[in-house]
Amino acid sequence: DTEVTQTPKHLVMGMTNKKSLKCEQHMGHRAMYWYKQKAKKPPELMFVYSYEKLSINESVPSRFSPECPNSSLLNLHLHALQPEDSALYLCASSQEGRGTDTQYFGPGTRLTVL
Amino acid sequence: AQSVTQLDSQVPVFEEAPVELRCNYSSSVSVYLFWYVQYPNQGLQLLLKYLSGSTLVESINGFEAEFNKSQTSFHLRKPSVHISDTAEYFCAVSEVQGGSEKLVFGKGTKLTVNP
**A40/B105 Cβ within 8 A:** no
Given a contact cutoff of 8 angstroms between Cβ atoms, the answer to whether B25 and B94 are in contact is no
Cβ contact, residue pair A105, B94, below 8 Å:
no
* CA of B18 vs chain A CAs: smallest distance (Å): 24
- Predicted confidence (pLDDT) per residue in B43-52, tens digit: 999 999 999 8
Q: Do A48 and B49 touch (CB under 8 A)?
A: no
For B60-72, write each residue's pLDDT tens digit: 889 999 999 999 9
Q: Which of B43, B94, B100 is nearest residue A56 as measured by Cβ atoms?
A: B100
pLDDT classification of B93: cutoffs 50, 70, 90: very high
- Whole-angstrom CA distances from B33 to A42, A64, B71, B74, B83 are 16, 30, 14, 8, 26
pLDDT along chain A (114 residues), means of 10: 90 93 96 95 94 90 95 96 96 92 95 95
E strand map for B1-115: 4-5, 10-14, 19-21, 24-25, 33-38, 44-50, 56-58, 64-68, 73-78, 87-97, 100-105, 109-114
